[in-house]
């Protein structure tokens, strides 16, 4: 039997050294990329490990007991993450999301949260500090994270039926434990809480209505995410994508919806509110969101950068190449050099993968390129 090649390892080794301009780039919050997009959102992956084996992210046949995860020495320290985050904030970042893998697997994560919570935006406002988790460890960690300064959480949950959910996470983890984690987060004030459901046709589309009914009127925002062609190991096929418009219509037939305004520039989710008895949006019933990066690309408004566990910057969730900051960081670079490197990386950005894919004929949209894995840079 031939040995299987895992593209992720190649991708980790292929990061580019960032350009460091001779003339420092002023960190004034006015940085824009080649398409005029500002830098406002930073996703930080704190670990490449996860205790779930969801087929669309970390399939068990690839991420098995022999998988070569990053050694601890390769990971950015909390102090290094905080120092880099400070430079990103100087260029306009206002929101930081901690991701993974599963971020709550990173030991003493609350120490990093406390460090980041002390940072302020350019106009002196508190940083919008949030975290995405599968919820498995949230019950025991919610209070300490809140105490450290975390603002809110987003929880991934792909169904309420236990059989379906166990099939999706592929480690026999029960729904009840995730729901307990969500409740613990609600009780300590880590909100508004968002719940993300990846819809994979043929697997969990029968969970759309039960999920909508369960979270309707709870103050928790449920968001449906199209099954995306991230990485190279999830076996993505277009015929397994259930378009957001179909999900929305499915809900609308049972629980009428009306469109809502975007909550912020660059928001990934299209918002719809539940209708009350008077036919108008009823805030007490809440809302749902739809993230449609496959069928309705939002590249033109994307203001997100991603920092990997070992200090590489990626400019798109579907990236094939990153920029190495760890070598600069550990090579003695001062803050001005780090800031200028980040500025040069963003100024050179022209990524718009989803828009380009949407222009291709249907039979060419399924590509086998060596994109970076979602478990490595966060969703």
Q: How confident is the model over 68-120, as pLDDT tens digits?
A: 999 999 999 999 999 999 999 999 999 999 999 999 999 999 999 999 999 99
pTM of the predicted protein model: 0.89
Asked if residues 210 and 157 have their Cβ atoms less than 8 Å apart, the reply is: no
Instruction: Give me the count of residues in the chain.
Output: 379
More confident site: 379 or 300: 300
Question: To the nearest whole percent, how much of the chain has pLDDT over 70?
Answer: 87
- Residues contacting 117, CB < 8 A, separation 6+: 126, 127, 129, 148, 149, 150
Asked if residues 290 and 214 have their Cβ atoms less than 8 Å apart, the reply is: no
Q: Report how far apart, in Å, the C-alpha atoms of 58 and of each of 10, 128, 201, 340, 377 are.
A: 17, 28, 18, 34, 12
Which DSSP string do the residues of 201-249 spell out, in sequence order? TTTSGGGHHHHHHHHTTTTPEEEEEE----SSSS---GGGB--HHHHHH
Asked if residues 264 and 237 have their Cβ atoms less than 8 Å apart, the reply is: no
pLDDT band at 294 (very low <50, low <70, confident <90, very high): confident
Asked if residues 169 and 212 have their Cβ atoms less than 8 Å apart, the reply is: no
pLDDT band at 264 (very low <50, low <70, confident <90, very high): confident
The tokens describing 275, both together, are: 């209708």
For residue 290, pLDDT beyond 60: yes
Q: What CA–CA distance (Å, rounded) separates 285 from 110?
A: 33
Residue whose C-alpha is closest to residue 292's, from 336, 339, 241: 241
Asked if residues 354 and 297 have their Cβ atoms less than 8 Å apart, the reply is: yes
- Which domains, and CATH codes, for the chain? 7-377 (3.20.20.70)
Asked if residues 135 and 184 have their Cβ atoms less than 8 Å apart, the reply is: no
pLDDT, the chain, mean? 88
pLDDT band at 13 (very low <50, low <70, confident <90, very high): very low
Q: How confident is the model over 326-348, as pLDDT tens digits?
A: 999 999 999 999 999 999 999 99
User: How close are the terminal C-alpha atoms of the chain, in Å?
Assistant: 33
Category of 67 on φ-ψ map: left (φ > 0), alpha (ψ -120 to 50) or beta:
beta
The tokens describing 184, both together, are: 């613990």
Q: State the virtual CA torsion across 61, 62, 67, 70 in degrees, nearest 10.
A: -150
6, burial (CB in 10 Å: exposed 0-12, middle 13-18, buried 19+): middle
Q: How confident is the model over 152-168, as pLDDT tens digits?
A: 999 999 999 999 999 88
Asked if residues 282 and 266 have their Cβ atoms less than 8 Å apart, the reply is: no
Q: What CA–CA distance (Å, rounded) separates 211 from 341?
A: 44
Alpha helices by DSSP H, listed for 324-373, are: 326-330, 335-347, 353-359
Max Cα separation, the chain? 65
């Amino acid at each position: 039997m031939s040995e299987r090649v895992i593209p992720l390892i190649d991708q980790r080794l292929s990061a580019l050294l960032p350009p460091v301009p001779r003339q420092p780039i002023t960190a004034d919050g006015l940085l824009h990329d080649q398409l005029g997009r500002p830098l406002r959102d930073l996703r930080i992956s704190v670990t490449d490990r996860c205790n779930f084996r969801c087929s669309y992210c970390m399939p068990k046949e690839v991420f098995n007991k022999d998988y070569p995860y990053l050694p601890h020495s390769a990971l950015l320290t909390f102090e290094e993450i905080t120092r880099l985050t400070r430079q990103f904030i100087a260029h306009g970042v206002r929101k930081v999301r901690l991701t993974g893998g599963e971020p709550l697997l990173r030991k003493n994560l609350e120490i990093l949260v406390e460090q980041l919570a002390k940072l302020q935006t350019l106009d002196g406002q508190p940083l919008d500090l949030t975290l995405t988790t599968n919820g498995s460890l949230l019950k025991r960690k919610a209070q300490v994270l809140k105490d450290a300064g975390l603002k809110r959480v987003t929880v991934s949950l792909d169904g309420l039926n236990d059989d379906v959910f166990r099939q999706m996470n592929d480690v026999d983890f029960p729904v009840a434990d995730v729901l307990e984690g969500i409740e613990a987060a609600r009780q300590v004030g880590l909100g508004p809480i968002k719940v993300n459901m990846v819809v994979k046709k043929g697997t969990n589309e029968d969970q759309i209505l039960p999920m909508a009914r369960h979270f309707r009127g709870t103050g928790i925002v449920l968001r449906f995410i199209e099954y995306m062609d991230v990485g190279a190991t999830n076996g993505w096929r277009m015929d397994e994508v259930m378009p957001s418009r179909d999900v929305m219509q499915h809900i609308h037939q049972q629980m009428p919806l009306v469109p809502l305004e975007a909550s912020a520039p660059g928001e990934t989710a299209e918002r719809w509110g539940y209708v009350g008895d008077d036919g108008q949006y009823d805030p007490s019933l809440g809302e749902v969101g739809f993230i449609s990066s496959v069928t309705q690309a939002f590249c033109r408004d994307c203001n997100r950068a991603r920092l990997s566990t070992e200090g590489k910057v990626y400019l798109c969730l579907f990236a094939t190449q990153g920029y190495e900051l760890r070598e600069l960081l550990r090579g003695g670079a001062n803050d001005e050099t780090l800031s200028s490197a980040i500025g040069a990386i963003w100024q050179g950005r022209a990524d718009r993968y989803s828009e380009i894919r949407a222009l291709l004929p249907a039979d060419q949209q399924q590509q086998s390129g060596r994109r970076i894995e979602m478990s490595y840079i966060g969703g």
